[in-house]
Copies of this chain bind each other. A is one copy, B any other.
Amino acid sequence: MARTTGSHSDITGPRVRAAALKLFAQDGYAAVSMRAIAAEVGVQAGALYNYTPDKQTLLFDLMQGHMDVLLAQMPQGDGQEPLEALKAFVTFHLQYHAGRPDEVFIAYMELRNLSDENFARIEALRRSYEDRLEHILQAGRAAGLFRIHDTKIVALAIIAMLTGVNTWFRAGGRLSLDEVVAQYWDMVRNAVGAGELPR
């Protein structure tokens, strides 16, 4: 046999990426064989190499795609006041991450399986994301709105807290996403010392 009826790169290509995403998230990059990905697509292993030069690039492309969209879609916050910008960041982060659990999981679980060069590229994108949050925090502190000390630490702490949601949140579960967003926004606002006045 050779080419199969109905085969098209426009169809197979996305299916290869989808299968890799699903399996990498499920079992981990190192534990997923190219044959397993091929089986998920319904194809032989050799066919995958029409869509990626190698397994490493397949992982890298998934991670880079995720980070690119994350950075492109995140709120810009131009001219917004710091508290509003922070709220927008928190809301965006939770909503974006809740909608893409597999991408998120891979993006921070499989960092060590990247080659040195690829790791550096993803790390740069990640840092850029963190920096944008830190800028909001610096602006808020400068305006006397946030009572925080080290903006770098606070930025990392907030992101860790928010990203942790993905370990337990499931759409259709006990809490709606809006409820989750409301509670996390409460905590973040309080954590930066911008909680409600009455006590």
Chain A residues packing against B (C-beta within 8 Å): 26-28, 30-31, 109, 112-113, 148-150, 153-154, 156-161, 163-165, 167-168, 175, 180, 183-184, 186-188, 190-193, 195, 197, 199
Contacts and interface: CB of A to CB of B under 8 A. Distances in A.
Q: Which of A27, A157, A186, A188 has the most CB of B within 10 A?
A: A157
A197 B195 contact: no
Contact of A28 (B28, B154, B180, B186): B28
A183 B31 contact: no
Nearest to A154: B187
A186 B150 CA distance: 11
Majority secondary structure, A binding face: helix
B160 A180 contact: no
Nearest to A188: B191
A156 B183 contact: no
A113 to B, nearest CB: 7
A182 B11 CA distance: 54
Contacts of A156: 164-165, 167-168
Contacts of A109: 109
A154 B30 CA distance: 34
A150 B187 CA distance: 11
A9 to B, nearest CB: 30
B157 A28 contact: no
Contacts of A28: 28, 30, 112-113
Contact of A195 (B159, B180, B183, B190): B190
Nearest to A163: B160
Nearest to A182: B149
B161 A157 contact: yes
